[in-house]
Amino acid sequence: MLPAPNLRAAFDAEDADRYDLHSRHLNHQMVRVLKTIGFDARFVRGKGAHLWDAGGGRYLDLVSGWGVFAVGRNHPHIAAALHSVLDADLPNLVQMDVSPLAGRLAERLLARAPWLQKAFFANSGAEAVEGAIKFVRAATGRTGIVHCEHSFHGLTYGALSAVGEKLYRDGFGPVLPDFREIPFDDPAALERALSKRDVAAFLVEPIQGKVVRPPSPDYLREAHALCRKYGALMIADEIQTGMGRTGRFFAVEHYGAEPDVVLLAKALSGGHAPVGVVLMRADVFAKTFDRMDKAVVHGSTFAKNDMAMAAGLATLDVIENEKLIENAAAKGARLLAHFKTLQKRFDYVADARGLGLMLALELGDPKSLTLRGLWGMLETMNKGLTGQLVTIPLFKDHKILVQVAGNGSRAIKLLPTLTLDDDDCAWIERGFSETLEAAGQSAGPVWSLGKTLLDGVRASRR
Ligand SMILES: Cc1ncc(COP(=O)(O)O)c(C=O)c1O
Q: Is the CB of 281 under 6 A from ligand 1?
A: no
Q: Is the CB of 240 under 6 A from ligand 1?
A: yes
**pLDDT score recorded for residue 460:** 65
Q: Is the CB of 237 under 6 A from ligand 1?
A: yes
- Protein residue whose Cα sits closest to atom 10 of ligand 1: 125
**pLDDT score recorded for residue 197:** 98
> Measuring CA to CA, which residue among 236, 229, 228 is closest to residue 259?
236
Tell me how far the alpha carbon of residue 208 lies from the centroid of ligand 1, in angstroms.
11
Going residue by residue through the chain (462 aa), what tens digit of pLDDT does each one get?
Answer: 898 999 999 999 988 899 999 999 999 999 998 998 899 999 999 999 999 998 999 999 999 999 999 999 999 999 999 999 999 999 999 999 999 999 999 999 999 999 999 999 999 999 999 999 999 999 999 999 999 999 999 999 999 999 999 999 999 999 999 999 999 999 999 999 999 999 999 999 999 999 999 999 999 999 999 999 999 999 999 999 999 999 999 999 999 999 999 999 999 999 999 999 999 999 999 999 999 999 999 999 999 999 999 999 999 999 999 999 999 999 999 999 999 999 999 999 999 999 999 999 999 988 888 888 888 887 887 777 888 889 999 999 999 999 998 777 899 999 999 999 999 999 999 999 999 999 887 655 666 777 777 777 676 666
Q: Is the CB of 154 under 6 A from ligand 1?
A: yes
- Protein residue whose Cα sits closest to atom 6 of ligand 1: 154
Q: Are 320 and 243 a contacting pair, CB within 8 Å?
A: no
**pLDDT score recorded for residue 406:** 77
Q: Is the CB of 126 under 6 A from ligand 1?
A: yes
User: Which atom of ligand 1 is found nearest the CA of 238?
Assistant: 1
For the question of whether the overall pTM of this predicted structure is more than 0.85, the answer is: yes
Rg (CA), the chain: 23
Tell me how far the alpha carbon of residue 223 lies from the centroid of ligand 1, in angstroms.
22
Q: Is the CB of 246 under 6 A from ligand 1?
A: no
Pocket perturbation via mutation, ligand 1, pick of 69, 266, 302 by most ligand atoms within 8 A of CB: 266
Distance set, CA 357 to CA 237, 297, 419 (Å): 17, 38, 10
**pLDDT score recorded for residue 461:** 65
Tell me how far the alpha carbon of residue 277 lies from the centroid of ligand 1, in angstroms.
12
Q: Is the CB of 391 under 6 A from ligand 1?
A: no
Could you write out the three-class secondary structure of 204-263? ECCCECCCCECCCCCHHHHHHHHHHHCCCEEEEECCCCCCCCCCCCCHHHHHCCCCCEEE
**43 by DSSP, 3-state: which?**
strand
User: Which atom of ligand 1 is found nearest the CA of 151?
Assistant: 1
> Measuring CA to CA, which residue among 325, 205, 329, 354 is closest to residue 267?
325
User: Which atom of ligand 1 is found nearest the CA of 129?
Assistant: 4
Tell me how far the alpha carbon of residue 361 lies from the centroid of ligand 1, in angstroms.
21
Contacts with 41 (C-beta within 8 Å, 6 or more apart), sequence order:
53, 54, 57, 59, 395
**pLDDT score recorded for residue 233:** 99
**pLDDT score recorded for residue 382:** 77
Supply the DSSP string of 156-181, one letter for each residue: SHHHHTT---HHHHTTS----TTEEE
* CA atoms of 288 and 298, how far apart (whole Å): 8
Pocket perturbation via mutation, ligand 1, pick of 123, 127, 207, 239 by most ligand atoms within 8 A of CB: 239
Beta strand pairing status for 50-53 and 349-355?
A: unpaired
**pLDDT score recorded for residue 225:** 98
Tell me how far the alpha carbon of residue 358 lies from the centroid of ligand 1, in angstroms.
15
Active site amino acids = 152, 237, 266
Contacts with 383 (C-beta within 8 Å, 6 or more apart), sequence order:
408
Tell me how far the alpha carbon of residue 125 lies from the centroid of ligand 1, in angstroms.
5
